[in-house]
Structure 1
């Protein structure tokens, strides 16, 4: 088995990565950052997001494992003091995995070019100055004219992140759905939106056709992009999926409870 180790700059993460490297080598694993079978991230959910984008072209043959050096995240199953247990699980690996849906984003520009992206958590479109104005289409049918700070489109696993902070629902990752949440929409006698999150089926897609301003800001997970003049952005559930080598199961709702509610009284 070929394994890549991706760590953040935290001292605790560096220490855990060194220990993991030593134990993997001792047990006959091959360390390979170019063509790995398994990618192990050490840090937090942000570290795993970065690794996902690094290996986005190899999703059909790579599984991910997250080791957290803080509290458990939504993408991390292991703590840094469980390195020995993780190595034992890898030694007994039989190819088991769990997969989650991803977001497919296609941006079209005025000059006829386009850009394609994948997101694990969410994508957003905002304006750097002033109110964002965009027409919203669902399955190519006009739905509404949005006015406000921006729109966030998320995956089920991303529903616990930025989307939730904007009033979105928490969606179980077994549902191949995507969610559109408004960011500070304007609703008055002149402008009117649904003013509620939209949860779309896997065979549906959303297209945004923004007014032709130059100062849009698009984010793909934790990466920000200032695109050229955008004519349309399409969002749908991707054909690709992310696969996690899951050797033990932590119920999704236990993760939600641990992240947002805390220990039971």
Structure 2
């Protein structure tokens, strides 16, 4: 087995990564950052997103594991004090994986189309001005949007930026995309749907900006330089990301722990 370790620069993550590497080597597991079978992220959700983009060209042959060294994360099954148990499970148990959908973006410009993958979301905005854009669903005009921007998220990304915009929390096993608005303009003259929209697996979203310049495209929190943007197409990718779940990947428990906390059963 070949394993790659991706870590963030925090001191605790660096120390945990060192411990993990020693445990893996003691079990005869090769550390290979080029052609791994398993990618272990040490840090938080941001570190997992970095690991995903680093190895996105190898999604058909790698699976991911997250080790958490900070606040509770949605992509991290293991805590830093569980390293021995995790390595034991990795070496002795038959791998069970959960596959989650990814977002594919096709950016149409004056030049060749550009393709991107997102694990969480992609948003489009204008620099210091209102974004005016036609929004189509499955090539049928849905609305003309005016506001700060638009965000399209995956189910796993529904707990991130999309949720802060008022989006719904969607279970990651559902192959759906969610469109949420960023400060839309709604009055007697201009109207948008004003609520999140969930798109079916066989549908796609097309955003066509009125002004092709001065746009900001952000993919998984990273700004992508673009210009002369005629339109951006969002669809569920044919590729998926695979996580080793080890039998304890409980999505709703994480949602509760992250956003609600301890629930008092005797409060009523």
* TM-score normalised by L of structure 2: 0.97
What is the CA–CA distance in structure 2 between the aligned matches of 1:23 and 1:164, rounded to whole Å? 37
Match of 1:65 in 2: 65
CA drift at 1:114: 1.4
Aligned length, in residue pairs: 264
What is the CA–CA distance in structure 2 between the aligned matches of 1:240 and 1:72, rounded to whole Å? 27
Match of 1:49 in 2: 49
What is the CA–CA distance in structure 1 between the aligned matches of 2:195 and 2:142, rounded to whole Å? 13
RMSD: 0.9
Q: Which runs of 5+ in 2 are unaligned?
A: none
Instruction: Give 1:96-111 correspondences, 5 Å limit.
Output: 96-109=96-109, 111=110
Instruction: Give 1:5-154 correspondences, 5 Å limit.
Output: 5-109=5-109, 111-154=110-153
Q: Which runs of 5+ in 1 are unaligned?
A: none
What is the CA–CA distance in structure 2 between the aligned matches of 1:52 and 1:222, rounded to whole Å? 13
Render the CA deviation track for 1:38-83: whole Å, top value 9, x for unaligned. 0001000000000000000100110000000013310000001111
CA drift at 1:263: 1.5
CA distance 1:27–1:89, change in 2 (3 Å): same
What is the CA–CA distance in structure 1 between the aligned matches of 2:124 and 2:71, rounded to whole Å? 30
Structure 1 residue 218 and structure 2 residue 217: aligned? yes
Q: Is the 8 A contact 1:105 1:117 kept in 2?
A: yes
- Name the SS for the 2:230 alignment partner: strand
Higher alpha-carbon deviation: 142-151 or 224-233: 224-233
Q: Is the 8 A contact 1:120 1:221 kept in 2?
A: yes
Match of 1:166 in 2: 165
- Name the SS for the 1:146 alignment partner: strand
Q: Is the 8 A contact 1:97 1:246 kept in 2?
A: yes
CA drift at 1:189: 1.4
What is the CA–CA distance in structure 2 between the aligned matches of 1:42 and 1:248, rounded to whole Å? 20
What is the CA–CA distance in structure 2 between the aligned matches of 1:233 and 1:93, rounded to whole Å? 43
What is the CA–CA distance in structure 1 between the aligned matches of 2:127 and 2:211, rounded to whole Å? 13
Instruction: Give 1:175-194 correspondences, 5 Å limit.
Output: 175-194=174-193
What is the CA–CA distance in structure 2 between the aligned matches of 1:104 and 1:69, rounded to whole Å? 30
Instruction: Give 1:194-213 correspondences, 5 Å limit.
Output: 194-213=193-212
Q: Is the 8 A contact 2:212 2:230 kept in 1?
A: no
CA drift at 1:249: 1.6
* TM-score normalised by L of structure 1: 0.98
Render the CA deviation track for 1:172-212: whole Å, top value 9, x for unaligned. 11110000000000001111101011001000000001012
Render the CA deviation track for 1:84-133: whole Å, top value 9, x for unaligned. 11110111132321110000100001x23211000000000001111000
Match of 1:262 in 2: 261
Regions of 4+ moved over 3 Å: none
